[in-house]
Structure formats: structure tokens, C-alpha cells
């Protein structure tokens, strides 16, 4: 078994095809309810910058046959104490020690990174991945829920939600209008109030510059980045935001990101109004879209209920698992 770094820039089409096929096979079991990524989407995911920090990819091969794949991500603006690791092993080769050997092979690079925490995010609840994480000594610190809105099965009347008195909604693609940039950045900080359970997680320190930086990342990757906001008429400030993006290689699927309403404006139905407005605008512009997916803390009952009210269905539970890097080294050895 050979564990080696995978260089996305020099990989051949055959390499990407093998990865796409391997992941499609695994994801049918490990990620039920989420369609597999196409070849184009796989290439895009691995070659475009997500603005989060350096990523390295690894493969596990036996006699040139691809048996596993791993991603290591080192956040470089917030959460710089953690290395995010995700290992995948082909279905018919599980429980043969490959996952353990793969993790051991990654240890030197984790140690060199100097990150004291190792985190695996979005492992499907009850899956092989959870059993493996537990066996490796990781502890679950955060549980969340994947919800998906399948456009074909939802009545668009659910998106006819009236705007609460005293507020107006605006929407745009790609860049926040300059007149809103300051209060938009401020409103984005409201996501810090979402439940984080036992997870120590540093939220983005939103400033107008960080907003522009994020827009630049989406633009460079050619993604369709969309935002809807609620503006408080009296102050003229943005007080609620919701944002999503669509990758060019996966044009059927919109991925929801943050939805947040500033504390003093909660309880008026703004979250539901902005998300419903997002759906109306989205379907007007992208009538071929098949689905929107979102993840929400499992104990964020308000957000989960808002999503249900506009047609999202629960797909599966997910969890974050973590350990101290030193403990992992002590457990697995070098």
C-alpha cells in the first residue's frame, strides 16, 4: 500500500476519473441523499481555491489501483490551531487497517503543520466514518443536520412569504453594493450566535475587506454567488443576510452558506422571509436548478424549522470529531 500526496495541477484526466468513480461509489453509501460529483465538479473542487487555506490531497494505492483518498486542510485566517482531515477508503477494502495506516501516513505532515488539533468535519451520523473516528480516539464535539430542498418536489407557494413591516429585502449576485458594505459586514457577524455545542470554533472576523476578499474568491472560481438581505427601513442598515453559491461544474446544486439575523431584529420572521426571497430569485434566474442543500447545527431549532417551512427536508445527521494532535501521535505512533 502506497500513501502519497496527490498534485491536482499535474494530475491526468485518468487520475481524476479514478477519483470521481471511487468517490461516487463510496458516497452512495457514506452520503445517502447527496448525488455524486461529476468529473468536472471533482476537478473544480480540487483545483479552485476555496479561500480557507492550503489544502493537500493524498491517495492510497495498491498496485496502481486507487483504494483511498484523503484531504488535509489548514485554515489560515481563523481556526489556525486546527488541521482538518478527511480520509476515505473504498467500500470493499474497509476493516483491513487501511484507514488507520492512512492516518498514520498523514501524521508527519500534521506534526509539521504545527496544528495542535485534528478535526474531521461532516462525518455522516452512524456511518463507518463515525466508528472509525471513535476507534481513533476522536471525540464528537458538534452535531449538525443536512437538509435539502428538492425543487421538483416543493410547492413554490411556500416561498410567498410576506416581508415583515419596517423592513425591505434586496438581493444581488457577486458583489455587495458599496452603500451596504459596512452594515452587511456587521450583520454577517451575527452567525457567531449560532449554537456551537462543544466545538471551539473561531468565526470569521467580518470587515468590509473580508467581504470583498470572499467575493474575489467566488469570482476567481467562476461561482454564481448570491445574496439576499433584509434592510431595516428606519436605520437603512442590513440586519439579516443569506448567501449561497453554485459551482460551474455542479450547476444543478446550490449550496447554502450563512443565514443570520442581528440579535435585535430576531423574532419577526426575517430569516424565513430572506430565505424564501432567495428561492424566488434563484428559480427566476436558474430555472434548471434541482436542489439547494444546507447544514445547520442539530440544536438550532429555529433555523431547522425555517428550512422546513420553505420546503427543505432532513437528509441525514452529520458530526464533527476531533482530537489533540499529540494524542493521535501517541496513539498511532510515527
Shorter beta-carbon distance to ligand COA: residue 73 or 85: 85
Q: Does 131 bind ligand COA (CB under 6 A)?
A: yes
Can you read off the three cell numbers belonging to residue 212?
A: 470583498
Q: Does 104 bind ligand COA (CB under 6 A)?
A: no
Please state the φ and ψ torsions of residue 175, each to the nearest 5 degrees. -125, 135
Q: How far is CA 306 from CA 135, 159, 177, 300, 301, in A?
A: 36, 11, 27, 10, 9
Positions 28 through 67 that interact with ligand COA (CB under 6 A): 30
Shorter beta-carbon distance to ligand COA: residue 20 or 183: 20
Could you tell me which stretch among 93-101, 197-205, 265-273, 310-318 binds ligand COA (CB under 6 A)? 93-101
Whole-angstrom Cα distance, residue 270 to residue 81? 35
Q: How far is CA 69 from CA 72, 82, 83, in A?
A: 10, 20, 16
Tell the smallest beta-carbon distance from residue 136 to ligand COA (Å): 7
- The only residue of 5, 32, 97, 114 in contact with ligand COA, by rule CB under 6 A: 97
Shorter beta-carbon distance to ligand COA: residue 98 or 151: 98
Number of residues that bind ligand COA (CB under 6 A): 23
Q: Does 128 bind ligand COA (CB under 6 A)?
A: yes
Shorter beta-carbon distance to ligand COA: residue 3 or 170: 3
Strands (E), 90-198: 117-124, 139-150, 167-173
Shorter beta-carbon distance to ligand COA: residue 38 or 100: 100
Can you read off the three cell numbers belonging to residue 284?
A: 427566476
Whole-angstrom Cα distance, residue 93 to residue 5? 20
Whole-angstrom Cα distance, residue 128 to residue 120? 13
Positions 134 through 153 that interact with ligand COA (CB under 6 A): 135
Tell the smallest beta-carbon distance from residue 27 to ligand COA (Å): 9
Q: Which residue is closest to ligand COA by CB? A: 129
Strands (E), the chain: 2-6, 55-62, 65-73, 82-89, 117-124, 139-150, 167-173, 224-232, 237-246, 253-261, 291-297, 313-324
Which residues bind to ligand COA, rule: CB under 6 A? 26, 30, 85-89, 94-100, 120, 123, 127-129, 131-133, 135
Amino acid at each position: 500500500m502506497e500513501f502519497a500526496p496527490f498534485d491536482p495541477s499535474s494530475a491526468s484526466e485518468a487520475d481524476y476519473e479514478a477519483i470521481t468513480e471511487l468517490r461516487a461509489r463510496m458516497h452512495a453509501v457514506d452520503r445517502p441523499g447527496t448525488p455524486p460529483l461529476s468529473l468536472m465538479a471533482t476537478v473544480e473542487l480540487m483545483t479552485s481555491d476555496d479561500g480557507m487555506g492550503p489544502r493537500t490531497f493524498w491517495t492510497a494505492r495498491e498496485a496502481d489501483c486507487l483504494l483511498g483518498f484523503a484531504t488535509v486542510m489548514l485554515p489560515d485566517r481563523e481556526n489556525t490551531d486546527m488541521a482538518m482531515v478527511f480520509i476515505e477508503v473504498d467500500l470493499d477494502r474497509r476493516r483491513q487497517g487501511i484507514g488507520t495506516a492512512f492516518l498514520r501516513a498523514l501524521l508527519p505532515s500534521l506534526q509539521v503543520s504545527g496544528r495542535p488539533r485534528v478535526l474531521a468535519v461532516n462525518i455522516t451520523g452512524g456511518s463507518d466514518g463515525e466508528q472509525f473516528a471513535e476507534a481513533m480516539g476522536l471525540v464528537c464535539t458538534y452535531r449538525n443536520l443536512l437538509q435539502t430542498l428538492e425543487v421538483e418536489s416543493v410547492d413554490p407557494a411556500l416561498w410567498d412569504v410576506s416581508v415583515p413591516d419596517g423592513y425591505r429585502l434586496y438581493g444581488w449576485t457577486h458583489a455587495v453594493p458599496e452603500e451596504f458594505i459596512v452594515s452587511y459586514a456587521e450583520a454577517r457577524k451575527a452567525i457567531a450566535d449560532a449554537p456551537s455545542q462543544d466545538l471551539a470554533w473561531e468565526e470569521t472576523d467580518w470587515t468590509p475587506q473580508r467581504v470583498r476578499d470572499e467575493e474575489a474568491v467566488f469570482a476567481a472560481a467562476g461561482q454564481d454567488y448570491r445574496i439576499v438581505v433584509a434592510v431595516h427601513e428606519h436605520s437603512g442598515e442590513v440586519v439579516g443576510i443569506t448567501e449561497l453559491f453554485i459551482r460551474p461544474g455542479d450547476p444543478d446544486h446550490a449550496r447554502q452558506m450563512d443565514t443570520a439575523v442581528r440579535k435585535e431584529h430576531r423574532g419577526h420572521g426575517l430569516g424565513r422571509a430572506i430565505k424564501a426571497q432567495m428561492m424566488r430569485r434563484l428559480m427566476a434566474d436558474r430555472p434548471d436548478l434541482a436542489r439547494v442543500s444546507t447544514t445547520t447545527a442539530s440544536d438550532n431549532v429555529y433555523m431547522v424549522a425555517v428550512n422546513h417551512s420553505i420546503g427543505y427536508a432532513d437528509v441525514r445527521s452529520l458530526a464533527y470529531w476531533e482530537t489533540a494532535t499529540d494524542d493521535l501521535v501517541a496513539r498511532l505512533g510515527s
